Structure 1
Amino acid sequence: MAPAMDLSHGTRPKVMIAPPRLNLRRAASYQGEKAPTSSTSSRFNFNHLVFASPPPSPGLPALVPRPRKSSAAPRPSRVLRVLAWITGLAALLLLVEALVQGGRQVPVASWAFQDGEEYETIRQNELPTFPTPITVTDRRGKSKWTVSIPPSHQFPLSMEEYSNICTKCQEVATRVKELHGISQSSQQTIRNYYYEDPYFMDVRDAEKSGLLPGTKGKAQTITTPAHDGRLVGQRKGGLEDMETCRTSMTFVLESSDAGLGPTLMMLWTAYGLAQKEKRAFFIEDSRWAYGEYADMFKSSPMQSCKPPPRHQMLPCPRNAKHLVVSATTARETFGDSFITEYENTKRSDIDREREIYELARVGYKALFRLNDDDRPYVNNRVKEIKAKASVPQGNYNDGTIIGVHVRQGDLHPLEYQYNGAYIPLDQYVQKFQELIEERHNSSTPLGGEDVVAKQHSFMVVASDNPDVYEADEFKTSFRAQEQIKLAGKQHAQVENLDPSAMHKFVDEAFGWEGGFFASMFWNLGRTTLHNADRLDDSSQESEQQLADAMRLRGLIGRAYVMDLAVLAEASDTVICTMSAMGCRLLAVMMGWDKAMARGNWVNIDGDYSWTGITLS
């Protein structure tokens, strides 16, 4: 309480008079006290007017430091404990999720094409159930791409599936490069044949990184026949002791082309390419139109390693560790970049194709081994033909054997004037006579001996048209082989029956007249009564038709390769047409020195030099 005023000093009291406008009531806001209700209820004084300080201004700092408030923030050690608890809980949740997901560490964002137009984003545990290229995100968050083939999927894939994968591979690779900031315009440059896409991840590497499930907990090779395919020449047992091939190439003997020649040329070239790239080589023949490979040829050379899991065999890209090659994917392996890599552009003569020729030659020497029934016959036939050309002892020269390969059927010449028909047979005979005159000119010092050699010179003919052998131009020629003959219709006529009596229905007489036609080949084994039936039906009759068809196709294939073998081994010179693949095969079988360097391979279908694989 304020001290009372002292009025004892002086005669006049010192009193401060409040201004008339000053309100004498105590302000509750100043002292926090209530005003008196009456003048008698409490003592009234003016001490608050004399000694009290005015209220602090809200705009000025307080003269006295404010008392320190107690802080509600936890101590630093408590914050650290809370953070540790949160971190531990998060780690526990991540561990539980990893165990539930079965070890899939990285979620994979993929684009799978649907109908060739749209992308579908999926996760790793939702990989497509069909073969397709996909994009994946590795542990560093970078986008890459690979090819996903379910391990349980049938091998080999269908021709349509292989074709779709190769088309989509190019689109997915372009998409991934765009994600890395590479524009499409900069991707248009022609790539080297051995260019390796830095954003492609091989299937085996993707499985090791956990980006693809692979065959976790399963055998590394699917042993079910429906899924395993049929690889030629591989051991039936003991593969467990062998290491998986580091790189490989598998050639699938399946094609929409009925002709055997294009398949053989591609097979030989693929083998030569595999040897150059140090890849193991396998042949798959489970869906070959000509039956089993071993029915026509001996097994391919045994490999020192076992084939990889089937879902790791890819048709693209070229730098895949385990590559699948077929007629459907030929452009990926033997397209423009292959020609650029192996064609000698500095040469304008036949040497321009020398390196490609040598690849096919390596494949021919390794793979063209006829089966045990046909090889002895070919050897004896070659000896027999050469004996006919032998001049009696005492003469200097033997006769010249000219092989003639005539292809007709559904294949027409490249030369424009004959494009709608065939090269006339007299063109072959005319070229034969020119060659004989050139090599046995009676004006040479040998004189009469060359005349005898001319008399021992003749043609050996092979043709897909049985009627060619009966033509006047080849009356004095010899067939290349007589082990398997394709009969013409005139040789397959049925007996004349009494038209007045009823007889059991008999199919119309069938002959191979006119040459090899693809439609005729695909319809082998079908009867005219049931020509609408499919050969792959499950009915017993269709199974028998399929067996008959495969037997007939196999005979046609064996006749074809034996014709080529006799012409290549017995002939001094071969006359043929470049439009026929058999003609180009003969050049490879004769060898470079004999066929090209010495000019004993003669093409009469336009002014064209040798080429190998032809892509439509």
Structure 2
Amino acid sequence: MPPTLDLSQSTHAKMIVSPPRLNLRRAASYQHEKATISASSSRFNFNHLMFSPPPSPGLPALVPRPRRSSTGPRPSRVLRLIAWIIGLVLATFVVRAVLKKNVQVPVVRWVLDDREEYEMVGQYVLPDFPTPIAVTDRSGRSKWTVSIPPTYDFPLTTKEYSDICAKCQEVAAHVRELHGRANPSQQAQTPYYYEDPYFLDVGDAEKRGLLPGVEGKAWKVTARAQDGHLVGDRADGLVDKSTCKTSLTFVLESTDAGLGPTLMMLWMAYGLAQREKRSFFIDDSRWAYGDYTAIFKAPPTPDCVPPPRHEMLPCPHNARHLVVSAATAPETFGNSFNLEYENLHRNNVDRERPLYDLARVGYESLFRLNDDDQPYVENRIKELRAMAKVTEGNYNDGMIVGVHIRHGDLHPYEYQYNGAYIPLNLYTQKAREIVEEYHNSSTTLGGEDVVAKQHSFAIVASDDPDVFETEEFSGSTRAQEQIKLASKQHIQKANPDKSVMHKFVDETFGWEGGFFASMFWNLGRTTINNANAGDELQTTLQPSAETMRLRGLIGRAYVLDLAVLGQASDAVICTMSAMGCRLLAVIMGWEKAMEDGRWVNIDGDYQWTALSF
């Protein structure tokens, strides 16, 4: 072993000063270690000011590399040990869980309103509110479904239904990304009957253990605990019947005070259910007009029982049990629906014929008035026909022209009248033109045409009681007189004696100007309560029994007008901006309304359409 060179006794260490053109370098850069140059460090020295060439690769270092002193294990070793222990525990837990029979370990993800995604792992770890979720089973396959706790109230609120439909698109897109499939562009329209291969219906998700279902340990109630109020559903008469394979349930609740849009959606939903061979149900739990059977007869009863309520989903459309409401109407009757059902090869009104046919099917099956109103409508139609009938021996009878006038908070489409209403003289002028054209184009003999014109008249229906007092319609006939909306002036005339002491009541109001949504929501409430309630709060406040009675009368008056105008009139004049006008076209029938041109719109150059979003 060669002797070690001892330099500790040398008194003249040889130093080489770095030339000015060379940069000062730290010795650690050649020893491949970082030297601490903190002024407070005990290892601080002047080695970084000296230039020492690297040792020869063929010779051993003269001075052995110093080693850091350590009094305990390095932190990295401690962390690694903890990580190994945690990993071992988790692996043991996962192996034991997977080996258990009928136990899944799904990964559940859901999206909240702030677009923040949450993820949890566990057998029954699910959100306690309705929302679409992405699930991953033990085989690593990602799917998505909609989780509605069976303990949740049915039907859901309109906001909850609309939120679910919005989140369905986000969760579906997320699952497609997990499978490496690109999401369709915003410009591409998804086909109406597109079936997402990654969507699991609630029943299928329960069978696979991805949702607990009503038999799971997480729920202590059955699906019937919160069953809403399905019209015509009688449990005692459906004991021996099985659950419907597919269904469509229409929820009547809407934030829109008007009855027309709800009726159009109801009729189209029924026609759609018949087209798709779904059982049809109606829920009126929170309908603003009260019980459905107070206005109409119950719909035809399917030969099966409704499904569990938590399986009724607002989206996607290929769900086994679908829920449709005003909140989800754009999802059900939106652009993809129009592309599927419209006749794209036609540019005239024939393009809307398939949509019209769906509504017509719903009208024929559902527009059946209650036992009090239906006999009145039949007698009223006979009475009006008798007034138009010409004496025996003439070939033509008089013509009945129905006039539907909508005022209130609804204004015309036509720009020049958008801030007001269509002038009443336009209605009367159009009515005279229709009568003249009808009788002049028909085959007549002698003076029979004049007699028929004398037996022609107009019947009027309006939400504005002041219309019947105007010069244009002062001599007209009301479509129906069973239920009439009164103005304040008429109410005060009915109680003229102010000298008699009466119990104090709130200020009298009538329907001057027509139907206003704010007036509808405030029926039966005092002005004090109205002042403290905003528009959104008014739609959610629990109405009193008297309020529901008044609302039911308004609904009955509306459908009575539609029934008499649509069934008794030879022609109808109305404005397309009013949904009642579109409903009248459906009641009249396609041949009479469209092919014969007896349905006349005087609100701009618009053709018939079912719904507008």
Same structural fold, with TM-score higher than 0.5 when normalized by the shorter chain: yes
**Within 2, Cα distance between the matches of 1:174 and 1:92?**
34
1:486-544, CA deviations, whole angstroms, 9 ceiling, x for partnerless residues? 0011111154546xx99864322211111000000000010224435779xxxxxx97x
Larger mean Cα displacement after TM superposition, 131-140 or 205-214: 131-140
Q: Which amino acid in 1 is paired with 2:396?
A: N
Does the aligned pair in 2 maintain the 1:250–1:282 contact within 8 Å? yes
**Within 2, Cα distance between the matches of 1:345 and 1:266?**
22
Q: CA deviation at 1:94?
A: 8.2
Are positions 1:312 and 2:304 aligned together?
A: no
- Is there any run of 5+ residues in structure 1 with no aligned partner, and where? 1-89, 536-541
1:105-152, CA deviations, whole angstroms, 9 ceiling, x for partnerless residues? 211112111333211111232111000100011343111100000011
**Within 1, Cα distance between the matches of 2:502 and 2:241?**
63
Secondary structure of the structure 2 residue equivalent to 1:121: strand
Q: Which residue is equivalent to 1:214?
A: 213
**Within 2, Cα distance between the matches of 1:496 and 1:525?**
24
Q: Which residue is equivalent to 2:391?
A: 392
**Within 2, Cα distance between the matches of 1:411 and 1:546?**
27
1:580-609, CA deviations, whole angstroms, 9 ceiling, x for partnerless residues? 000000000011111111111111111111
Q: CA deviation at 1:340?
A: 0.5
Does the aligned pair in 1 maintain the 2:359–2:586 contact within 8 Å? yes
Task: Report the number of matched residues.
Answer: 513
TM-score relative to the length of structure 1: 0.79
Q: Which residue is equivalent to 2:377?
A: 378
Larger mean Cα displacement after TM superposition, 468-477 or 549-558: 468-477
Are positions 1:129 and 2:115 aligned together?
A: no
Q: CA deviation at 1:219?
A: 9.7
Q: CA deviation at 1:189?
A: 2.8
Secondary structure of the structure 2 residue equivalent to 1:156: coil
Secondary structure of the structure 2 residue equivalent to 1:560: helix
**Within 1, Cα distance between the matches of 2:98 and 2:178?**
28
Q: Which residue is equivalent to 1:509?
A: 508
Q: Which residue is equivalent to 1:77?
A: none
Secondary structure of the structure 1 residue equivalent to 2:180: coil
**Within 1, Cα distance between the matches of 2:427 and 2:295?**
30
Q: Which residue is equivalent to 1:559?
A: 557
**Within 1, Cα distance between the matches of 2:432 and 2:171?**
59
Q: Which residue is equivalent to 1:356?
A: 355
- Is there any run of 5+ residues in structure 2 with no aligned partner, and where? 1-89, 535-540
1:456-498, CA deviations, whole angstroms, 9 ceiling, x for partnerless residues? 0000000000111111111221101000010011111154546
CA 1:189–1:497: 2 relative to 1, 3 Å: closer
Secondary structure of the structure 2 residue equivalent to 1:531: helix
**Within 2, Cα distance between the matches of 1:187 and 1:509?**
53
**Within 2, Cα distance between the matches of 1:368 and 1:309?**
28
Q: Which residue is equivalent to 1:611?
A: 609
Q: Which residue is equivalent to 2:594?
A: 596
CA 1:503–1:388: 2 relative to 1, 3 Å: closer
CA 1:171–1:188: 2 relative to 1, 3 Å: farther
CA 1:443–1:306: 2 relative to 1, 3 Å: closer
Q: Which amino acid in 2 is paired with 1:222?
A: A
Does the aligned pair in 1 maintain the 2:223–2:310 contact within 8 Å? no
Task: Output the aligned Cα RMSD.
Answer: 2.4
CA 1:564–1:504: 2 relative to 1, 3 Å: closer
Q: Which amino acid in 1 is paired with 2:392?
A: Q
Does the aligned pair in 2 maintain the 1:442–1:448 contact within 8 Å? no
Q: CA deviation at 1:223?
A: 3.1
CA 1:188–1:136: 2 relative to 1, 3 Å: farther
Larger Rg: 1
CA 1:182–1:566: 2 relative to 1, 3 Å: same
**Within 1, Cα distance between the matches of 2:519 and 2:173?**
43
CA 1:269–1:503: 2 relative to 1, 3 Å: closer
Secondary structure of the structure 2 residue equivalent to 1:461: strand
> For 1:537-576, what aligned pairs fall within 5 Å after superposition?
546-576=544-574
Q: Which residue is equivalent to 1:142?
A: 141
Q: Which amino acid in 2 is paired with 1:279?
A: R
> For 1:130-529, what aligned pairs fall within 5 Å after superposition?
130-184=129-183, 189-216=188-215, 222-224=223-225, 227-441=226-440, 445-493=444-492, 494-495=495-496, 497=498, 505-529=504-528
**Within 2, Cα distance between the matches of 1:479 and 1:188?**
50
CA 1:383–1:322: 2 relative to 1, 3 Å: same
CA 1:325–1:502: 2 relative to 1, 3 Å: closer
1:414-456, CA deviations, whole angstroms, 9 ceiling, x for partnerless residues? 1111111000110010001111111223996523111000000
